A and B are shown apart, each in its own frame.
Chain A
Amino acid sequence: MGAAGVATRPAPTERAPVIETRELRKQFGRIVALAGLTMTVRRGEVFGFLGPNGAGKTTAVKLLLGLSAPSAGQGRVLGAPLGDLDTRQRIGYLPELFRYQGWMTAREVLALHCELARLPQSSRPTGIDEALELVGLADRSNDRVETFSKGMQQRLGLGVALLGRPELVVLDEPTSALDPVGRQDVRAIIGALSARGVTVFLNSHLLTEVERVCDRVAIVDRGRVVAELTMADLVVGGGVRVRVTGLPDAAAVAGRFGRTRLDGEWLVVDAIAAEAVPSLVAAIVSGGGAVHAVMPSHHTLEERFLSLLGAAHDGPADGAAPPSGPETRA
């Protein structure tokens, strides 16, 4: 959805950066919440920020929005230093811990945020109606928020984040309280934002959600980015599956090309470079095997996510990134 929406725009690497951070660090006493975040998000991208619980994702979001001050490092959002007050007019934010004034109606909450965001008076009524329509709350607009379910409150939060047509929308776990229909709606909204050229920073641990909407992801663990990849790189994974007969020790023959395993008649070779595949096939044939098919091996996002986290955990134990730095294929 997201990747298709940006097909006619400049390649991601040519677009202006919307978020840039360099060694951003946040420490609470002796606890390091963010060890040194370095990443770039470009205009119009739907950028997934993935990581296990406690990886520092929400802390990173708070630093980007100026809700918390970094202990070290630097960053810029929409060209301004972190925490710049005027820049916040151009940012929409749905917090993970979303809560709105229960005694107000949905429409009043949106009107309040129009005032806080200093949106022009003339655009407010239309903006509020659009937001209510977009998040499916038009028929409940005059009901008090305290009568809303969690899911409806999250929808309202999304509406608040979209007010004033922001250039950057930061969504922190935007579907945590939503049912499958609600999740689909959110994906559609993110797709529409992407098509409009809005940058979306999606903080989530729901891999399927990220897989469906993001152009690029950063995987963060123990406060550091361990990989920053396009979705295509993330799910393809650089392996092949070869259907082989007549060679019982095919796995041993292919061992020098990468990690191998047998899956019935299929020989799976992980982490093999594309240019080494003809040599692999030649080695199997010269060993007496018959090759019936060669296919790229697709990892699920979950497999890749876990393998990247596993690799990061095998590195230095203090939470620092492996010596070679994060894997980057943008």
Chain B
Amino acid sequence: MPLFRKKDPVPPPATAAAPPPSVPVLKCRGDERALEFEEQLARGRWQEFHDFLQETDNWGIRSFYVSELSTIPGRPQWLDEWVAARPQSALPLLFRGVHSKNWAWEARGGGRAKTVKKDAWPLFHARLVEADRDLAAAAALDELDPTAWAASVIVGMGLSLGQPELRRRFDEAHRRDPLNGAACVNMIQATSRKWGGSNEAMLEFARWAAGQAPDGHSVHKVVALAHIEMWLDAPKGEPQRGYFRSPAVMQEVMDVARRSILSPNYAPEGIALSWADRNVFAFCFRLMREYAAQLEQMRLIGPHVVAFPWVYQGTAGQKYEEHRQHAFKQLYAVAAPPWEAFLASAGWAQPPAAGADQAQ
């Protein structure tokens, strides 16, 4: 160290790096009716939504609207007003219960248990207890609806109620609506190792559900979901990178894809529900390096990019675009066309500007 030296030079100002390219992740999967209800609920008007749910006899559709619209941050007052105004109806209890579940995860955060702050746990558990009360009350008021039971699987998972109880809740949903989509999807999380189950139990459940389902049924995707959880749980590095390239995994994912989204009999309960399925398989195809299959799904998805499962790797819109571009390079050795041109070439009209959630 010299005794005398010049002052350190002032470093030059850093230039801001360009943000990575991203595509819009549509709120409510771009469903126009859901977006209308979202706007009404934001103003505290729940009445039309109540009437709509009441007239909906398709459980998958009901579950979709309840799930999508209950992701409201905070706790709006109109939830309690709705419950008080319709005391004989299960619907406000169902909605408030699902909202409480989401609100609980808002307190906890979506990371692994070790990332959760110590003082967040009591709030997480308190909101789950509220959710459980409302969902139990909703289930008691409507003996036919499986939706509350399906949602209660996740609530029970959060309260660590144990695998037998989670299976009981699933069975209640399944009894009311065999192979209820939401219930089956929730059971993949509930049986996973990270939530107190095991990878073996999770795969066993997924294979059982797929084994029960006819050709073209949406529920086949739970096998793909199970493999995504296995991939997530694999040790970092080559075991995780190589997971979806194992022949057995590739074979199984392709088999269930052929029995669902690739089947000529594929008939999801509603077009909005198909976006979730296709995003799941597009993700799997990408990790399997099946770029043709991946791009085919991306063409069919069009602008209906959803956060899951891309959010497992980072910002959903960015990862989706990154993988789209990667597929083009790998398949055609050319850069992917711009997003709008890609959609147009796939037969999509102007991508919806309203409802896009760039924050994903």
Q: Do A and B come from one complex?
A: no
Q: Which residues of A are at the interface with B, using a C-beta cutoff of 8 A?
A: none
Q: Which residues of B are at the interface with A, using a C-beta cutoff of 8 A?
A: none
